[in-house]
């Protein structure tokens, strides 16, 4: 399986990323308009692989991540996949959040972008990629791709930084996430949700 690494950053990030760009010549660096959906769509447009894996800047893939994609690829019914959610914290709050995410994915087949979503490239382009919305772009993508096939859930974890939970407060940040997803599923538009943050 060929690995192609693409980073879609904004022009405003060029100064802070200058050293990394110089050190990592193996990465294809793109300048894209600000916005998570726009940046991920820009990266996807430049990619040539059969599968696209979208990795947030604060999330690390497991060493054997290719095995998960190979397993998903072997099942033609799979349209999208994700890794198990994990946080890099020893706090019991982190374990409770991880459990909550596992329950959400098991009951509703609804992973979020911090689980390193991977999708079949042809299907991604067929459905128009990420919607150009300011928030919930990952949920929207998962919902649309779930109408085209099954969700593959890898058992190995993609580990996300717990920094934002530790800074904002475990309960406060989790409650904010739950409020946002509940309002979104009830029909509140992403623009209104983003304005409320």
Q: Where are the domains of the chain?
A: 51-195
Q: 134: exposed, middle or buried (C-beta count within 10 Å: 0-12, 13-18, 19+)?
A: middle
Residue 31: strand pairing partners: 9
CA distance 131 to 68: 26
Query: Which ranges of the chain does DSSP label H, i.e. alpha helix?
Result: 14-23, 36-46, 65-73, 92-108, 121-126, 137-146, 163-168, 170-185, 190-195
pLDDT at 133: 96
pLDDT at 18: 79
Q: Which residues contact 155 (CB under 8 A, 6 or more apart)?
A: 84
CA distance 93 to 90: 8
pLDDT at 197: 86
Question: SS3 for 39?
Answer: helix
pLDDT at 2: 59
State the 10-residue block means of pLDDT for the chain, 197 residues long: 81 77 85 90 94 95 95 97 98 97 96 97 96 96 96 97 96 95 95 92
183-186 long-range contacts (CB < 8 A, ≥24 apart) are 184/135, 184/136, 184/139
Q: Which residues contact 100 (CB under 8 A, 6 or more apart)?
A: 174
């Amino acid at each position: 399986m060929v690995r192609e690494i693409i980073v879609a950053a904004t022009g405003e990030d060029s100064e802070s990323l200058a050293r990394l760009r110089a050190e990592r010549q193996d990465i294809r660096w793109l300048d894209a308009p600000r916005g998570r959906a726009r940046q991920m769509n820009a990266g996807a447009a430049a990619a040539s692989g059969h599968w696209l894996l979208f990795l947030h800047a604060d999330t690390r893939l497991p060493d054997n991540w290719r095995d998960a994609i190979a397993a998903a690829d072997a099942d033609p019914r799979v349209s999208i996949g994700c890794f198990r959610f994990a946080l890099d914290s020893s706090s019991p709050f982190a374990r409770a959040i991880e459990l909550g995410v596992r329950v959400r994915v098991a009951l509703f087949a609804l992973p979020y972008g911090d689980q390193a979503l991977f999708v079949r490239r042809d299907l991604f382009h067929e459905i128009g990629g990420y919607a150009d919305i300011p928030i919930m772009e990952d949920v929207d993508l998962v919902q649309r791709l779930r109408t085209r096939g099954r969700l593959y859930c890898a058992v190995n974890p993609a580990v996300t930084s717990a920094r934002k939970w530790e800074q904002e407060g475990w309960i406060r940040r989790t409650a904010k996430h739950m409020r946002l997803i509940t309002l979104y599923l009830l029909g509140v538009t992403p623009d209104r949700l983003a304005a409320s943050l």
